[in-house]
Amino acid sequence: MCGITGMVHLEQDLRQQELLLRKMQRTLQRRGPDQEGIFLSPQCAMAHTRLAVIDVEKGRQPMEVTAGGETYTIVYNGELYNTAELRTQLEQEGTVFQTHCDTEVLLQSYVHWGPRCVEQCNGIFAFAVWEHSARRLFLARDRIGVKPLFYAEIPNGFVFGSEIKALLQHPDVPHEIDKTGIAELLLMGPGRTAGGGVFRTIREVKPAHCGYYMQGQLHLHPYWELHAAEHTENFADTAAHVRELVTDAVRRQMISDVPIGTFLSGGLDSSLLSSLANQVMQEQGRELHTFSVDYRDNDRYFQKSHFQPTSDPTYIRAMERYLGCRHHWTVLDTPALAEALYAAVDARDLPGMVDVDSSLLLFCREIRQEVTVALSGECADELFGGYPWYRDADIRRINGFPWAQSTAYRTQFLLPEIAAEIDAQAYVQSAYARTVAAAEQLPDDSPLESRMREMMKLNLDWFMQTLLDRKDRMSMYNALEVRVPFCDYRIAEYLYNVPWEYKDWNGYEKGLLRTAMQDVLPPEVLWRKKSPYPKTHNPSYLQTVSEMLRHVVADPLSPVLQIVRKEMLERLLESEESVQWYGQLMTRPQIMAYFVQMNYWLEKYQVKVVL
Q: Residues 226-256: pLDDT tens digits? A: 999 999 999 999 999 999 999 999 999 998 8
Q: In sequence order, which ranges of 46-136 are alpha helices (DSSP H)?
A: 83-92, 102-113
* Cα radius of gyration rounded to whole Å, the chain: 24
CB-based contact 288:277 (threshold 8 Å): yes
Catalytic residue list: 2
pTM of the predicted model over 0.85: yes
Q: What is the pLDDT of residue 536?
A: 80
Residues of the chain with pLDDT under 50: none
| Four-residue CA torsion sign, 251, 256, 259, 262 | negative
How high is the pLDDT of residue 588? 93
Distance from C-alpha of 327 to C-alpha of 325, rounded to nearest angstrom: 6
CA–CA dist 384, 397 (Å, integer): 18
* Cβ contacts of 3 within 8 Å, gap of 6 or more: 25, 28, 29, 30, 31, 32, 48, 49, 77, 161, 162, 163, 166, 476
Residue type, 24: M
Q: Residue 531: its pLDDT value, please?
A: 73
Please tell me the predicted confidence (pLDDT) of residue 37: 94
Instruction: Collect all residues with Cβ–Cβ distance below 8 Å to 214 and sequence separation of at least 6.
Output: 134, 135, 136, 137
Query: 3-class DSSP state for residue 200?
Result: coil
Residue 49's CB is within 10 A of a number of other CB atoms, namely 27
Instruction: Give helix 355-367 / helix 588-604 axis angle, nearest 10°.
Output: 80
Q: Give the Cα separation of 501 and 478 in Å (integer).
A: 41
Distances from the Cα of 582 to the Cα of 249, 308, 337, angstroms = 30, 16, 19
Contacts of 583 (CB under 8 A, 6+ apart): 403, 404, 463, 532
Start-to-end Cα distance in the chain: 38
- Residue 134 pairs in a beta bridge with none
Task: Select from 94, 90, 72, 85 the least CA-distant residue to 123.
Answer: 85
| Secondary structure class of 125 (helix, strand, coil) | strand
For position 534, what pLDDT does the model report?
A: 72
